[in-house]
Amino acid sequence: MPRNVDSVAVAVSGGRDSLLALALLAEQYGPDRVLAIHGLFIREADPRLLADLKRVCRDVGVSLVVADLRERFERLVIQPFVADYAAGRTPNPCAICNREVKFGLLLEEAHTRGVSHIATGHYARLEHCPQRTALFRGTDPTKDQSYFLSLVPEESLACALFPLGERFKADTLSALEARGLTPPAPQESQEVCFVPDDDYISFIEARRPELCDTGPIELADGTRLGVHGGLHRFTPGQRRGIGVAYTEPLYVLGKDMARNALIVGPKELTTSRGCTVGEVNLLVPPDEWPDECFAKTRYRQQAAPARVAFQDGRLDIEFLEPRSLPAAGQVAAVYDALGRVLAGGIIQEETS
């Protein structure tokens, strides 16, 4: 924990993780130095959820404030999400939300109220040192969320606390029960909070119906196999839902946006040596990076050894062994051997 915590605001959604983070910090610093903030992002306030949030905050002994961020969330997260799909990319809205909203707008809201720090229920670790704040993988390897936090600037992380960073997700419910706390929203949150039923295709098509224009499905050599119903429905490496029969299973290899064509091929073509990465967030100066770096381009991947160079504002990542195809719009995160995040950014394109 940093030494200069005057007060802390905890972003509470109503779920288990944020409630436990709130309880732990109230125990550590005292309820009078802790404030709960609930952000309204996508819909009208749920009276029942707010009533339950007020109840648990009273049980913990802290005050609750509600911040209406719907208009800015639409502009900063939802609109770019739709625009990325329209441009043929596969965005990562959770990582953008962390950068722009949770450690952007909510941190500003905390500062406006005279609160020095903000905390969330993320499973990641921070080391607050005099020279900088370092972001590390969480202790729980099955829940580590450092990948989604790799776009958050160091100056924002310096004002952040992750009370669950050294805890295990499986212990969260019992920790709440031991404190007599029941989360208002006990179910796990869905994959993308603003997309109903995780049906991102219907969500995008409702906003951009022109994306449903049909186009050819082709092999890399130009052989036409069928017709697709919109390139936004596909991402590199995808196997299911292509909708054409062939002599062997087919995977998405890429998109030709100019011709509205989906390029597919066999599994042996679904690996890549690397990618270029833009919108780079440096958490450690490149001249301090170790000789051996590790990188991941998907959340569920294990970080793998890679040569990583930062030049001209971009990261060039070359894996030592081929990996699954990276998707433009997704996050690439670079680590050292100890699990410290060196940098994060947005994948621009695959490199052969």
- Residue 263's contacts (CB-CB under 8 Å, 6 or more residues apart) are 218, 219, 220, 252, 253, 254, 255, 256
Residue 304 and residue 322 in contact, taking contact as beta carbons nearer than 8 Å = no
Q: Count other C-beta atoms under 10 Å from residue 90's C-beta.
A: 20
Active-site position among 94, 129, 159, 193: 193
159 classed as catalytic = no
> Rounded to an integer, what distance in angstroms lies between the CA atom of residue 290 and that of residue 302?
19
- Residue 293's contacts (CB-CB under 8 Å, 6 or more residues apart) are 305, 306, 307, 308, 334, 335, 336, 342
Distances (CA, A) of 116 to 7, 10, 157, 241: 5, 11, 12, 48
> Rounded to an integer, what distance in angstroms lies between the CA atom of residue 32 and that of residue 243?
58
Query: What does the buried/exposed string (b/e) look like for 7-24 if buried means 16 or more CB atoms within 10 Å of the residue's CB?
Result: bbbbbbbbbbbbbbbbbb
Beta bridge mates, 222: none
129 classed as catalytic = no
Residues in the chain: 352
Active-site position among 57, 97, 159, 275: 97
> Rounded to an integer, what distance in angstroms lies between the CA atom of residue 275 and that of residue 319?
9
Please choose, from the candidates 80, 78, 49, 83, the residue with its C-alpha nearest in 3D space to the C-alpha of residue 66.
Answer: 49
Distances (CA, A) of 128 to 5, 86, 160, 161, 162: 11, 40, 9, 10, 11
> Rounded to an integer, what distance in angstroms lies between the CA atom of residue 113 and that of residue 100?
19
Active site residues: 97, 193
